[in-house]
Structure 1
Amino acid sequence: MTENFTDEEKQGFYKAIYSRRDVRSHFISKPIEDEVLSKILNAAHHAPSVGFSQPWNFILIKDQDTKKKIKESFEEEKNRSSQLVEEPKKSKYLSFKLEGILESPVNLCVTYDPTKFGPFVIGRSSIPEAGLYSVCCAIQNLWLSARTENIGLGWVSILSNDTLKETLDLPEHVIPIAYLCLGYVDEFAEKPDLETKGWLPRLELKDVVFFEKWNDKENKNWEKIQKMIKENLDYA
């Protein structure tokens, strides 16, 4: 496990990153094989975590009644959040397909348990949120491994956490972090849906990288990489 990646392996890794999509549609009826699903879950479970606390749990969901309850929560929250947007953006927002809860063969709730291994976790005392961030690392592992298996994944964040906790019988101290829809798809979009539909643009790399201090984009100690970043190299 300590050998270097080959050029072909590197290309495969970056392909998964650049072609990963937040999938809301295009799901097909083909079931996910248990062997593949277990591989994806194991990849998620091997994510880094603060103090090696592994504070995640994964709840697999197929039951249609459960899915319908979650879908109802989505519809309620989508309508509620639409009140925060003025026309014409409001109508555009409401027209978007933003979930695949019923269409995807597997739903998955990823949770955060801050009580695992007791109250003291190395690295979490100064930044308590580090435990939650660890769960996000597991979700990213899961997302990329799903893509390498040609499985689409969509993160549904327009939901009530209270509804999730009640529907899935979560203990009071356990926090739902992500509700995911997984399944094979008939295609992966060339670009993210919200970029294609003109909701928001993709920022260029040069707009999000600073050097040494906030908002410093011209530090002389970093001239070579500054030039590369300004060229906005596309490695996809």
Structure 2
Amino acid sequence: MSDAPAFGSGFAAAFRDLILWRRDVRRFRTDPLPDGLIDELVALACHAPSVGNCQPWRFVHVTSEERRDVVRASFRRANQSALEGYDGEARALYARLKLEGLDAAPVQLAVFADETTERGAGLGRQTMPEALRYSVVGAIHTLWLALRAEGVGMGWISIIEPDIVTKALGVPEGWTLVAYLCIGWPVEEHLDPELERAGWQDRAPGDELILKR
């Protein structure tokens, strides 16, 4: 006999709102999160699906100011390099974008894929080895939703130098950086993405994203 819970229409509607109101947050308050909340929600994220049940995600809580400074410097270099790849109006718009919350977010997590894990015995990775990193992304998204359900914001910073950040964090060889996350109370709440509000990119219509064959 199954003890599985029944998820009713009210829960489904609230879950839809949770997904729609999840945002990539860049503007954080500096006040701390409740004690134990991050550990609790990371543990929940570890219930995400993974290829072969290998659970390859490795979360690193970055508390050292020295290491955070390395990440900030890496962002500045990578962001300047990215800026130089644009011209004209796009360059001016890019320069105005707020793309990180490294100076304010009280919590910073680096998330790695353990490419050397023996868990799962390679099941599902023979033809698509990238599924291991996809599994890590699934855990990150699970964490994102769990944080949003608590009113906490998260921002995913991809404008960094993976090799430099990985070295600065001193993680085991064979771990691949998948994401650097800023987490904290958001300064403001929005239904629409910040990049859309800033005029960088509108959402694509559904008929461009979903095909039938």
Report TM bin, short chain. over 0.9
Percent sequence identity over aligned pairs: 34
SS at match of 1:16: helix
Question: Quick one: which amino acid aligns to residue 202 of structure 2?
Answer: P
Report 1:54-203 matches (<5 A): 54-117=55-118, 120-203=121-204
For the residues of structure 1 that align with 2:79 and 2:20, how far apart are their CA atoms? 28
Give the letter for the 1:156 counterpart.
I
Letter in 2 for 1:11: A
Contact 2:53 2:119 in 1 (8 A): no
Paired AA for residue 31 in structure 2? K
User: 1: CA distance between counterparts of 2:86 and 2:30?
Assistant: 35
RMSD, aligned CA? 1.4
Aligned to 1:230: none
**Contact residue 56 and residue 113 of structure 2 kept, 8 A:** yes
- DSSP 3-state at the match of 1:88: helix
Aligned residue for 1:219?
Answer: none
Helix, strand or coil for the counterpart of 2:98? coil
CA contact (8 A) 1:22 1:154 kept: yes
**Partner letter of residue 29 of structure 1?**
T
| Structure 1: tracts of 5 or more residues without a match | 213-236
Of structures 1 and 2, the larger Rg is shown by: 1
How far does the alpha carbon of each residue in 1:18-70 deviate from its partner, in whole angstroms, 9 at most, with x for none?
A: 00000011x11221123321221022101000000000110012222221210
- In the other structure, the counterpart of 1:41 is 42
Q: Gaps (5+ residues) in structure 2? A: none
Aligned with 1:177: secondary structure? strand
Q: 1:15 aligns with which of 14, 17, 41?
A: 17
CA distance in 1, matches of 2:187, 2:77: 29
Task: Output the amino acid matched with 1:180.
Answer: L
Confirm or deny: 8 A CA contact 1:36 1:149 kept in the other structure.
no
State the shift of 1:119 in Å. Answer: 8.8
